[in-house]
Structure 1
Amino acid sequence: MSHVLFSIEDQIATLTLNRPEKLNSVTPEMARAIMTHVQHCNENDQIRAVIITGAGERAFCAGSDIAELDTYDTPWVFRNRPDYCDAIRALRKPAICAINGYALGGGLETAMSCDIRIASDTAKFASPEVKLGWIGGGGMAYMLVHNIGASNAARMLMTGEPVSADTALAWGLVSQVVPHEALQSQAREIAQMIAARPPIAVQTAKTNIRAAYAVPLETAIQYERDLQTICFATQDADEGRRAFKEKRSPVFEGR
């Protein structure tokens, strides 16, 4: 049985962590599979959005399988392991995370590596590594501080205690909380809206958002204007303007 499921339907790829008996914790083999699927998503122009979720009722992902950590020969080998969070951040296509339960440790980092996060009302979020004597290593502190602020980040990182879906929503960690049974349909609805947009503009928007984290205001504005100019030169932009004038729905081809 595959521990990472992958499917494509109507220009939307779905990647499902499929190890529910272990709270979808990630093994090195699963990390390599995620990397392979991300590469396929990036290379396949028919894929316009990606949904990432977990199998079962209890968990989205509990992070790395702790039982596997002692299999690394040295801390340096551990440092250079295949990293599934790096893989998710390498996605050029928009990523929607449907958080169906626990998002712990690397599972929380995986969720934060996605562009849009929606959560089941049963979801819980934690950075519990401190309870075991270490800290997160997949961008945990950086992403938490940028998403929920320094004080809330410190509370999560230093206590390791979980927060509820409602708290995550109030802090800005997720965009929406929905009833558990509505999670997948809501994620797909968002993915369908994005898939209907011009793909070059959408991927450029993703690039622009990433840049906004890292550069000063004036540099960010200039970069945004350059990206806008690139988009404006595409056939899709021409089609968008024509469709607006002709009062019809545009047909975008990613050119």
Structure 2
Amino acid sequence: MNTFAPGTDQITVQVDGAVALVTINRPEKLNSVTPAMSAALEAFAAWANEADEVRAIVLTGAGERAFCTGSDIRTLDSYATPWDFRNRRDYCDALRELRKPVIAAINGYALGGGLETALTCDIRIASTNASFAAPEIKLGWIGGGGMTALLANSIGASNTALMTMTGEPIDSARALSWGLVSEVVAPEALLPRAFELAATIASRPPIAAETAKANLAAAFNLPLAQAVAYERELQGITFATADADEGRAAFAEKRPGIFTRR
């Protein structure tokens, strides 16, 4: 099996079966992200996309206080000009490039870029102690990693306005009622539940799972008629794979399928 070395102990990667656990590991700073950590996440995304053995990913934060609180504000003054800041490679950009399904296991604070990180994931589950905020407005700017668009697609325009224009946090119960997260569980149940979901996804034919992710992105970006037509094309592609042949054979023979990402 291929392995991945992040190059920093502030991002850790553990592969268990077909599931990769990625941990933002800077709990003493509420898992705020430095440029070196962002580069490690970018490198992980490139590696995971080519790693056949990885079929689903769980993303979480170390410790009990925070999932991620976004970029370390102390590093933001290192950019020579606002143009340099605008053109930086961002960790949310890297995570959006992942073709494999990603589950966010949100423990504690998901603030600013940390909320954007969670929104970039395909499925979000939260612990009861999680809280969510877009606090950039308090500092004089707005989110730049997809905050408004991703929130609006998730919780609607009015709720997005409430979060981005006040900067005030919401708790996990409200996040669930708004549809920001799919489930809320006790803190001790968070990672086991995330792994359970990831293992279920990893057991599915991987090309189909990756295609379902691409199709969902298209559904939010294309007019309805084009989205339906695109889905039909993707269905045709997946139907022609060896995994689809195996799926039909396994169904007929009443046995689990053995899928090879081919």
Deviations 1:9-49 (A, max 9, x none): 10111110000010000000100010011111001111000
> SS at the partner of 1:70?
helix
Deviation at 1:121, TM superposition (A): 0.5
- 1:70 alignment counterpart: 77
- 1:113 alignment counterpart: 120
> SS at the partner of 2:221?
coil
> SS at the partner of 2:78?
coil
Letter in 2 for 1:140: M
Q: 1:151 aligns with which of 147, 155, 158?
A: 158
Deviations 1:114-162 (A, max 9, x none): 0000000000000000001000000000001110000000000000000
- 1:127 alignment counterpart: 134
* 2: CA distance, partners of 1:82 / 1:169: 31
Deviation at 1:248, TM superposition (A): 1.1
Structure-to-structure mapping, 1:38-57, within 5 angstroms? 38-57=45-64
* 2: CA distance, partners of 1:2 / 1:150: 38
* 1: CA distance, partners of 2:239 / 2:89: 38
- 2:243 alignment counterpart: 236
Matched, 1:202 2:198: no
> SS at the partner of 1:47?
coil
Structure-to-structure mapping, 1:66-105, within 5 angstroms? 66-105=73-112
* 2: CA distance, partners of 1:6 / 1:248: 33
* 2: CA distance, partners of 1:96 / 1:39: 17
TM-score by length of 1: 0.99
Q: 2:193 aligns with which of 157, 178, 186?
A: 186
- Off by >3 Å, runs of 4+ in structure 1: none
- 1:223 alignment counterpart: 230
Matched, 1:16 2:23: yes
Deviation at 1:61, TM superposition (A): 0.3
Once structures 1 and 2 are overlaid, which stretch shifts more, 66-75 or 83-92? 66-75
Deviation at 1:247, TM superposition (A): 1.1
- 2:42 alignment counterpart: 35
**Structure 2 unaligned residues grouped into runs of 5+:** 1-7
Deviation at 1:82, TM superposition (A): 2.0
TM-score by length of 2: 0.96
* 2: CA distance, partners of 1:71 / 1:252: 47
Deviation at 1:67, TM superposition (A): 0.8
Deviations 1:194-228 (A, max 9, x none): 00000000000000000000111111111000000
Letter in 2 for 1:175: S
Q: Percent identity between the aligned chains?
A: 61
**Structure 1 unaligned residues grouped into runs of 5+:** none
